[in-house]
Chain A
Amino acid sequence: MELQPTLERAPWWLRGSDRLGALILRSVVIMRNVASFALITVGVTLRKWRQSREAILPVVLGEIHRSGIQLLPMLTFMAAALGLVIIGQTVSLLTKVGVQDIAGMVMVTVVVRELGPFITALLVLTRIGTQTVIELSTRRAMGEVEALEALGIDPIHYLVMPRVIGLSVSIFALTVYFIILALVSGFLFTMVQDVALTPSDYFTQIALALRWEDFILLTLKTFAFGTIIATVSCYQGLAFPVRLEDVPRVTTRAVVVSVVACVLIDAAFIAAYLVLP
């Protein structure tokens, strides 16, 4: 006679809690490994910041071109769509109910603090993060990482650090571009709807609603998003030997982990906004 029931025979809630526990443990292990990888990257970045710039700088610029400039058309479309669909309608609605005076504050809270950085980060993650996972896992599978080591080149320094810097700079620049374009296109939509709000009133309200901490926190947040996306993508691409059939699973995991980490960081920034006077 079995003294302990097997999990298959256990009630549904026990099986459910077992699965949940396994999921939480797996998530904790992944987060711990990514955090270790991030710390190694930070260590290498600090130690080798000025070293081999002739070799590293072209990779950083290439990454900025790939994750920044090449994404401009897509980002332009997204910003215009957000401006037309959400901002235009919001401003129009605020004007209808007679509270157009708070339009600037709403825009700063919604677009500058939240939607701008988050949508840009998601766009970069889906376009560049996934590409990075596939590229690095292929490089590892082809033995290029070992070849770098054989030539005395630190793979973290040459492959990871430029991606972290490049992606962070790109997300910051793209977010600024996204916010400006969304705010302008949103106002254009309100003009089409004959909303009684002059450009001068609209942009003055936004300027007055912006505080110095918005600039600092926006910079910190976008750099944090860039660092998270680059680190997670590089970790998933480089940490394990990946077979061809594993690539979709690893890529999906990179997206999920990045999104969760970005949401957590975003929550921390919301808390910071609330704490600030």
Chain B
Amino acid sequence: MNSTLPSVALENVTVQNTGRNGAQLSGVDWTIGGGEFWIVAGRPGDGKSDLIATAAGLRRPTEGNVSLFGKDLAESNEQELAEMRNKVGFVFENGGRLFRGLTALENILLPLVYNRQLPFHELKEVGLAALESVQLSHLGHRLVEHIDRPLHQRIALARALVLKPEVLFLDNPLFTPDRREFAWWRHWLAEGKGNLAKPDDNPNSMVLATSEFRQAHELDARFAVIDSEGWHLIGNRDELKSHPNPTARELLMETP
């Protein structure tokens, strides 16, 4: 993909916040360019998940336009939407929403089998490699109900990566009570950011929504903050340190 083209563009978007009754996040102008790593921070219930789901084309905005790879979602038909979704990876929060009744391997291969129309057995090696990339290949044949809950989001990451998405959205993976999982994700994010520069390697862009800003702010990324006042584009890491936004400073545990 040409890294100068924006992968996702939001113009004056209003998003309904499902975490807070009736609250809306409005006036969001945001462009995610090729090769960029964005961190969207906010407190739980501020609407991070709703915003990134809207940016990923999973939900329609209340107002405004969302474009994926230069194509306006409102003007896209079902076929075009399905094609665009194959270029967007999404790792849901709180367990990654794995499909119960299937093994970890089947969970990972289902989107490939469905979209590429290839049989499971031909893709087994691909699935195992995806599980290996998240260091969970030993869990491939286990039903997801029998896998520790903190590991689910890692399997969901493998499921998203197996389609080689151009943009990857990660919803709050650092919000985990398991210290080892937290460390794994922290390491993977730092490494994943490094891989964004590789032109032939997807994902090309990455968005991390997090309520654990203190743990994420040292990553080399562009930052945005959501609070009760709305949407704030902060800038890069250096700009973040000196930015006057009280929520950003509060999230960094600094006194405004």
Contacts and interface: CB of A to CB of B under 8 A. Distances in A.
B82 interface: yes
A139 B99 CA distance: 8
Given A144-B97, A144-B99, A151 B118 contact: no
Contact of B117 (A52, A143, A158): A52
B114 A52 contact: yes
Interface string B88-122: 10101000111110000000001101110111100
B113 A151 contact: no
B174 interface: no
A150 B98 CA distance: 12
Contacts of A152: 82-83, 85-86, 111, 114-115, 163
A153 interface: yes
B56 to A, nearest CB: 7
Contacts of B159: 151
A150 B85 contact: yes
A149 B88 CA distance: 11
A19 interface: no
Interface in B23-74: 53, 56, 58
A149 B58 contact: yes
A54 B117 contact: yes
Contacts of B160: 151
A4 interface: no
A143 B97 contact: yes
A151 B92 contact: no
Range, interface on chain A: 10 to 19
B117 A151 contact: no
A55 interface: yes
Nearest to B121: A54
A214 interface: no
Interface string A73-98: 00000000000000000000000000
B175 to A, nearest CB: 16
Nearest to A146: B58
Contact of A147 (B88, B97, B163): B97
Interface string B108-142: 00110111011110000000000000000000000
B119 A151 contact: no
Nearest to A153: B114
Interface string A152-174: 11100010000000000000000
Nearest to A52: B114
A275 B159 CA distance: 56
A3 interface: no
Contact of A151 (B83, B85, B120): B85
Contacts of B118: 54
Contact of A52 (B88, B100, B115): B115
A158 B92 contact: no
A54 B97 contact: no
A55 B116 CA distance: 10
Contacts of B90: 147, 150
Nearest to B88: A150
Contacts of B92: 143, 146-147, 150
Contact of B99 (A51, A54, A147): A147
Contacts of A51: 117
B58 A151 contact: no
Interface string A34-58: 0000000000000000011111000
A52 B118 CA distance: 8
Given A143-B97, A146-B97, A147-B97, A153 B111 contact: yes
A142 interface: yes
Nearest to A47: B78
- Among A51, A53, A147, A154, the most chain B Cβ lie within 10 Å of the Cβ of A147
Contacts of A139: 100
A221 B14 CA distance: 49
A147 B95 CA distance: 12
Nearest to B115: A152
A201 B115 CA distance: 57
A103 B83 CA distance: 61
Contacts of A158: 114
Contacts of B96: 147
A54 B120 CA distance: 7
Given A52-B117, A53-B117, A151 B111 contact: yes
A146 B60 CA distance: 13
26 contacts: A52-B113, A52-B114, A52-B117, A53-B117, A54-B117, A55-B114, A143-B97, A144-B99, A147-B92, A147-B96, A147-B97, A147-B99, A149-B58, A150-B90, A151-B85, A151-B115, A151-B159, A152-B82, A152-B85, A152-B86, A152-B111, A152-B114, A153-B110, A153-B111, A153-B114, A153-B115
Interface of A: 51-55, 139, 142-144, 146-154, 158
| A-B complex: 10 closest residue pairs judged by Cβ atoms | A151-B111, A147-B97, A55-B114, A152-B85, A150-B90, A143-B97, A55-B113, A52-B114, A152-B86, A54-B119
